[in-house]
Structure 1
C-alpha cells in the first residue's frame, strides 16, 4: 500500500474485522489503498446472526474502522453482495473528529440472510430507506474506541 491515506471509512463488524480476510478481499485489487484501523463501536444498532451477520435496530455492536479508497469500496460492495441485494451500504455519522462526516456500514436483508430473530425497521419502500430512517431518527453513530 502506498503512503497516501485511504479516504473512506467503513465500520466492519463481521469477517472483515480479521486482517487476513481484509487482505484476501482487498489485497488483489491493483493499487488499492486500505488500512484496518482502530476498534470502534456502532451505537444504536446491534448485530444479529443468520447465515451471515447483519444489523438490527437498537443496541451497540463492536467492530473496527476500515479505511479504503474508492477501488477498495467497490471491492467491498462486491464482497457484501450489494449488486445482488444481499446487503445495502448506508452512511452513518461519526462521533469522532478524526473521521470525516460519516462512515459506511453494510446492513443485510434479514430475510435473505436467514435471520430468525425478529428485526423491526421503520416502514419504507426499501431496506436502505428503512435503515436510513432509523439512523436519522435514533442518532445512530460510529464511535472510535479510546
Structure 2
C-alpha cells in the first residue's frame, strides 16, 4: 500500500523505528488539503501539501502510531495520479492519507459538513477533488 506522508513520517529515522519493511518511492503532492500545525501535523480542506509516498504493508502499525482506534486520526484513501514518466504498473490506484482531528490536535482547521469528524472528512472527500500526485523527476 502507498501512504502519503507529510509530517513526522517523512523522516526515514522515524519510519525505521515503527516499521520493519518500507520504502520511500518518491516525492508526492496532496491536492485538495493543506498542512496545519497543532500538537501534531494534520490536514485541512483546500490547498496543497508536499510530502512523500511511503510504500508498506504494515498499516496496522501505522494505524496504531496515528491513534486510529482512539479517534485521533482517520485513515482515508484518495486517488493516486502518476506522472507520465513513471512506470504506472508500479503504483496502485489509491494512496492512504492520515487526517488528524483538529479539535483533538489543537489545530486551526475547520471541516465542513455535518456529523462527527470522520463523517465530515468523508463528505469533503466525496465533494472535492482530492488526490495524491507523484513526480519522478523530483528527488526523494
**Same fold by TM (over 0.5)?**
yes
Shift of 1:120: 2.5
Q: CA separation in 2, counterparts of 1:48 and 1:109?
A: 11
**1:85 maps to which residue?**
71
Residue correspondences, number: 130
- Greater alpha carbon shift after TM alignment, 102-111 vs 128-137: 128-137
Q: CA deviation at 1:125?
A: 2.3
Q: Is the 8 A contact 2:102 2:110 kept in 1?
A: no
5+ long unaligned stretches in structure 1: 1-7, 28-32
How big is the alpha-carbon RMSD for the aligned residues of Structure 1 and Structure 2?
Answer: 1.2
2:96 is the counterpart of 1:108:
no
Q: Deviations over 1:22-74 (max 9, x none)?
A: 100113xxxxx3212211000010000001010000000000001111xx110
Q: Which has the higher contact order (CA 8 A, sep 6+)?
A: 2
What is the CA distance between 1:136 and its match in structure 2?
2.4
For residues 1-146 of structure 1, what are the structure 2 equivalents within 5 Å? 8-27=1-20, 33-69=21-57, 72-96=58-82, 97=88, 98-115=90-107, 117=108, 119-145=109-135, 146=137
Separation in 2, partners of 1:90, 1:128: 9
User: 1:90 touches 1:128 (CA, 8 Å); kept in 2?
Assistant: no
5+ residue gaps, structure 2: 83-87
Give the drift of 1:140.
0.4
1:104-139 deviation digits (Å, cap 9, x = unpaired): 100001011011x2x232213232221122122111
Moved over 2 A (4+): none
